[in-house]
Amino acid sequence: MHEMYEFETPRIKRDLEPEELLQVILDYAAKIANERNLDNVLSLMADMGKVIVVADRCTVWLLDSQRNELWTKVAHGVTELRIPVGAGLAGHSIATGQPVFIDDAYSDVEYRDVLMSGALKTDLQTGYRTKALMVIPFRNNEGEIMGCYQAVNKMTPSQVFSDKDLRNLTLAASYSGKSIESAMLAEEIEETQKEIIFTMGEIGESRSKETGNHVKRVAEYSYVLALALGLSQSEAELLKMASPMHDIGKVAIPDSVLKKPGKLTDEEYDIMKTHTDIGYNLLKNSKRKILKTAAIVAEQHHEKWNGKGYPRGLHGEEIHIFGRITGIADVFDALASDRVYKKAWELDRILNLFKEERGHHFDPNVVDAFMDSLPKILDIRDRYADHMLEAQ
């Protein structure tokens, strides 16, 4: 139904038939429901509004109450636009909570001042000729006004927006509030989660005095391997966010073990191994997808394909693919770096170990993906190299 969106071109000058309208709304609703990126949601909303009411332009304005401004990312041809809440019809509609219709901006008396501070002023700067205008506020789930739809210039012969347009755009607007809010919430949650995870990962890292960028490199290696193994982009991104937490359980390991310069005794190694269960228990109760994933990785990154790993001795595909991926990424990084207990290994020695351990310690497919991705892996190693290590 892509041709429908061609209605945005000025040469098409009729209202949509009811079944076309329905199709447009269904098409856009499906796209919007699948979209988590706020800018894309706003852009789809604006396009939908424009097609529904056959406007020349349509803008979705959002209220930034802290700055007392309206902003939009989708004024066509502009990247981000901000206007004071006091200026223009959009601000007026948001302040009153009422929709506004204007048939001809240049002869309108009632909204003259408002228009002079908004659309007409903009026209002077741009040479655009605003005639018909329609602004409809929309609300969030709490019923607070969060923004408005602004449609400019009706492209049918009547050149004015109708009551039907108002109803249809109101429908789109009521839907907008909810979609925008969930996209904003999703962005905020994701940002918060990323922050928590990196902070926690860094705590684990600093406690163990592991080299500065260990957490970052393991995240990047895991991401590259996930994609090379055919996991989806979103799974790869999920793993990239979760894998920095793999050693979070080391926060609970005593310094005498964690920072021991030499080889661990059997008892000390048993203590060390508990970092997997400790990490899992720290993270397992979260309902957040990223933290749930991190719990799996923390628990399983020392499992081995042949069942000789810890803490559970899982075999083969009993080990979650995220655990198998982070496991090899972690060993590669441990071997390629200096540790308190060992010097870094030469690359050839590491690759020989991986070939020997293919099908033993490591999933053969993951080793193959590692070998295929070697240029990318080495690029990450070099980009996130540890420069100077103190206290080692």
Q: Hey, which residues are catalytic here?
A: 250
> Is position 88 an interface residue for ligand SIN (rule: CB under 6 A)?
yes
- In this structure, what DSSP letter does residue 316 have? G
CB of 192 to Fe ion, least distance (A): 24
What is the distance between the alpha carbons of residues 176 and 74, in angstroms, rounded to a whole number? 14
Biggest CA-to-CA distance, the chain: 89
Per CB under 6 A, 341 contacts ligand C2E: yes
Grouping H, G, I as helix, E, B as strand and the rest as coil, residue 85 is: coil
- Decide: 204 and 251 in contact? Cβ < 8 Å: yes
Please state the closest distance from residue 148 (CB atom) to ligand SIN, in A. Answer: 8
CA gap 181, 140 in Å, rounded = 7
Residues in the chain: 392
Supply φ then ψ for residue 60, to 5 degrees: -105, 110
Residue 150 makes contact with ligand SIN by CB under 6 A: yes
Task: Report yes or no: 51 and 186 within 8 Å, Cβ to Cβ.
Answer: no
Instruction: Say how far apart CA 294 and CA 244 lie, in whole Å.
Output: 8
Which of the listed partners (ligand SIN, Fe ion, ligand C2E, none) does 75 bind, with a CB threshold of 5 to 8 Å by partner kind?
A: ligand SIN
**Per CB under 6 A, 55 contacts ligand SIN:** no
Q: Name residue 360's amino acid.
A: H
- Say whether residue 312 binds ligand C2E (CB under 6 A): no
Under rule CB under 6 A, residue 330 binds ligand C2E: yes
- CB closer to ligand SIN out of 36 and 339: 339
If one asks whether residue 342 binds ligand C2E (CB under 6 A), the answer comes out as: yes
- According to the binding rule CB under 6 A, does residue 184 interact with ligand C2E? no
CA distance 217 to 337: 11
Identity of the residue, 74 or 197, whose beta carbon is nearer to ligand C2E in the bound complex: 197
Identify the residue among 35, 60, 130, 249 touching ligand SIN (CB under 6 A): 130
Q: Can you tell me whether residue 153 is helix, strand or coil? A: strand
Q: Please, what's the b/e burial string for 227-257 (b: 16 or more CB within 10 A of its CB; e: otherwise)?
A: bbbebeeebbbbbbbbbbbbbbbbbbbeeeb
User: x-or-dash pattern for ligand C2E, window 237-276, by CB under 6 A?
Assistant: -----------------------x--xx-------x----
Cis ω before 157 (30° cut-off from 0): no
Q: Which is nearer to ligand C2E, 135 or 329 (CB)?
A: 329
296 forms part of the interface with ligand C2E (CB under 6 A): no
Written as six digits, the tokens of 174 are 């009521």
Question: 150 pairs with which residues across the strands?
Answer: 59, 135
**According to the binding rule CB under 6 A, does residue 313 interact with ligand C2E?**
no
Contact between 75 and ligand SIN by CB under 6 A: the answer reads yes
Of 83-91, 222-230, 246-254, 319-327, which part binds ligand SIN (CB under 6 A)? 83-91
Interacting stretch for ligand C2E, rule CB under 6 A, among 146-154, 278-286, 338-346, 371-379?
338-346
Instruction: Give me the residue whose beta carbon is nearest to ligand SIN.
Output: 118
The verdict on 276 binding ligand SIN (CB under 6 A) reads no
53, 89, 94, 241: which one contacts ligand SIN (CB under 6 A)? 89
From the list ligand SIN, ligand C2E, Fe ion, none, which binds 331 (C-beta under 5 to 8 Å, kind-based)?
A: ligand C2E
For 141, phi then psi, to 5°, come to: -65, -20
Residue 260 partner contact from ligand SIN, Fe ion, ligand C2E, none using kind-dependent CB cut-offs of 5 to 8 Å: ligand C2E
Please identify, using beta-carbon distances, which residue of 219 and 226 lies nearer to Fe ion. Answer: 219
Tell me if 334 contacts ligand C2E by CB under 6 A: yes
Q: Are 204 and 248 contacting, i.e. CB atoms less than 8 angstroms apart?
A: yes
Of 135, 262, 279, 139, nearest to 207 by C-alpha is: 279
Q: What are phi and psi of 135, to 5 degrees?
A: -125, 130
At 151, the amino acid letter reads A
CA–chain centroid gap for 388, Å, is: 33
| Interface ranges with ligand C2E (CB under 6 A) | 260, 263-264, 272, 302, 330-331, 334-335, 339-342
| Interface ranges with ligand SIN (CB under 6 A) | 57, 59, 75, 83, 88-90, 118-119, 122-123, 128, 130, 135, 150, 152
